[in-house]
Amino acid sequence: MPRLPPALFWRARREVSPLAAQLLPACRDLQSAANELRWIREHVRATPSPVPEGLRVWQLVERRGRGIPLQYVLGTQPFGDLEIKCRPGVLIPRHETEAYTLYLASLLAKEQPAAGSSSSSSSSTLSILDLCTGTGCIPLLLLQALLRRPPSPRPSHITVHGIDISPRAIRLARANLAHNTALRLLPPPSPPSASASPSPSYSATFTRASIFSPTLLPTLQSLSPGGWDVLTANPPYISPEGFARSTARAVRNHEPRLALVPPPAEPPPLLRQEDTFYARLLHMAQHLRPKRVVLEVGGWAQAVRVVRMALRGYAGGGGGEIARLYPTVEIWRDEPAGVAGDGTGDREGGGEVVEVAGREVRVRGVGDGRVVYLCR
């Protein structure tokens, strides 16, 4: 990390505030230090407390200045229209995740696959399974977006289910459901009802489980007998070397390694350590056969590797099963709905295509590779 010039601290002190100068080591530039200071002040003003405001601002600035992520300092992060609580030990929701989740929600709202697909019950219910859910941000935002703009034909009931190995994450995900319900950003959960209400009923559950557990697959199959419609996952995808070198300091020092770096594989590794989760996730997709699979990946190279694993098979399984199952395979970039300035981004019609494992794979949006998307 390059050293900040002392002049920058002077400028921060003179032009903004001494508190901004204290934020500089964490924020690295004047503009974001000024913004973060403003947000800290707004947060203090919005949350009443017997402690004087100036002292609270100072305390929060001091913690942020030490490099603790702002989301942990303030305890929340806006995610779409929702407010997601953040606590140490659980990964903070990222802007990229927000972007593709909203894009997925717009896809779901726009085109409900025509009737006549294998599971007949899917027209009246929509079920979403999120693995490695963390704060529960992905399923909750999908839920919120779909309740506001229900897809047509309108499902009568939406089920979302989140799974994580960390008990902290599960507690936080449940707290987030309650928090956003209390803020009236989500209606209270309701059992499926026969009566025609303006918006579909929904249920949201979060359970603790390891996705490598052999009993998980049968459990998930029994949870949604009609099959799952959407499978999403933001698994750990950083290699140990990448964790040491390319992650930001705030991430490395304060966010849980469990959510970032996959554990080393026990049998002699046939694939890279950062890809171990995708092998398992693709295996699960093959058995659960969800209509859409959305897997977050860490960059273009990994996206191509995951697509190759899906199409060609991978160590220990697969082998073209997925390629037969899912005719649509796409890679989404950071902003799937975005357009590049020179018009190379995606719009209706043409667009970018890459060839992976002998098949043409559509690429959407602008930015780095972020999501591997399968649809049948």
Partner 1 sequence: MFAAPWVCRSCARSLRRVGISRSIRRASTETPVNLPPALLDRARRLAAEHQQLSAALAKDFDAKTAKRAGEISRVADALRQFEKAREALRELHGLLESNDAELRELAQDDLEATNAQLADSSRELSIALTPKHPFADMPCLLEIRPGPGGTEGRFFADSLFHMYRAYCSNKGYRTRVVKYEASDSDGQTGSEGEIALQEAVLEIQEPGAYGLFRGEAGMHRVQRVPATEKSGRTHTSAVAVWVLPSFPENSTSESEADWDNPESDFYINPAEVRSETMRARGAGGQHVNKTESAVRLTHIPTGTTVSMQDSRSQQRNREEAWRLLRSRIAQQRREAREEQARQLRSSVLANSQITRGDKIRTYQYQQDRCTDHRSGLDAHNLPDVLRGGETLGKIMESVQTWLINKDIQALIADEEAAAAARKEGK
* Closest distance to partner 1 from the beta carbon of 269 (Å): 21
Token pair of 200, please? 């579909």
Q: How far apart are CA 125 and CA 223, in angstroms?
A: 13
Among 62, 321, 352, 368, binds partner 1 (CB under 8 A): 368
Stretch in the footprint of partner 1 (CB under 8 A) among 118-126, 170-178, 205-213, 365-373 = 365-373
Report the candidate in 296, 291, 236 with the shortest Cα–Cα distance to residue 261. 236
Closer CB to partner 1, 190 or 253, in the complex: 253
| Contact track, partner 1, 250-289, x by CB under 8 A | xx---x---xx-----------------------------
106 contacts partner 1 (rule: CB under 8 A): no
349 contacts partner 1 (rule: CB under 8 A): no
Tokens 């002049």 belong to residue? 7
Amino acid at 277: F
| Contact track, partner 1, 306-335, x by CB under 8 A | ----------------------------xx
Token pair of 170, please? 């599960």
Stretch in the footprint of partner 1 (CB under 8 A) among 90-98, 169-177, 263-271, 283-291 = 90-98
* Closest distance to partner 1 from the beta carbon of 365 (Å): 11
Stretch in the footprint of partner 1 (CB under 8 A) among 19-27, 151-159, 279-287, 353-361 = 19-27
Question: Using an 8 Å Cβ cutoff, are 129 and 50 in contact?
Answer: no
Closer CB to partner 1, 31 or 49, in the complex: 31
Span 27-86, contacts to partner 1 by CB under 8 A: 27, 31-32, 34-39, 69-71, 77-81
Count of other CB atoms within 10 angstroms of residue 373: 24
Tokens 């990390």 belong to residue? 1
Closer CB to partner 1, 126 or 259, in the complex: 259
Length of the chain measured in residues = 376
264 contacts: CB under 8 Å, gap ≥ 6: 273
189 contacts partner 1 (rule: CB under 8 A): no
Closer CB to partner 1, 20 or 211, in the complex: 20
Token pair of 182, please? 């209390």
Among 338, 352, 375, 376, binds partner 1 (CB under 8 A): 338
Report the candidate in 361, 359, 360, 362 with the shortest Cα–Cα distance to residue 349. 362
DSSP per-residue codes, 138-203: HHHHHHHHHHHS--SSPPSEEEEEEEES-HHHHHHHHHHHHHHHHTTSSPPP----SS--SS-EEE
Q: How far apart are CA 279 and CA 314, in angstroms?
A: 7
* Closest distance to partner 1 from the beta carbon of 22 (Å): 12
Segment 121-125 long-range contacts (CB within 8 Å, at least 24 positions apart) = 121/226, 122/226, 122/227, 122/229, 122/291, 123/153, 123/155, 124/155, 124/156, 124/157, 125/155, 125/156, 125/157, 125/158, 125/159, 125/192, 125/226
Q: How far apart are CA 210 and CA 191, in angstroms?
A: 27
Among 22, 65, 90, 96, binds partner 1 (CB under 8 A): 96
Span 126-185, contacts to partner 1 by CB under 8 A: none
Stretch in the footprint of partner 1 (CB under 8 A) among 51-59, 106-114, 196-204, 242-250 = 242-250
* Closest distance to partner 1 from the beta carbon of 17 (Å): 4
Closer CB to partner 1, 40 or 160, in the complex: 40
Among 75, 187, 240, 242, binds partner 1 (CB under 8 A): 242
Q: What are phi and psi of 128, to 5 degrees?
A: -125, 130
8 contacts partner 1 (rule: CB under 8 A): no
61 contacts: CB under 8 Å, gap ≥ 6: 19, 22, 23, 37, 40
Which residue ranges make up the site for partner 1 (CB under 8 A)?
15-20, 27, 31-32, 34-39, 69-71, 77-81, 91-92, 94-98, 102, 234, 236-238, 242, 246-248, 250-251, 255, 259-260, 296, 298-299, 334-335, 338-341, 343, 347, 367-368, 370
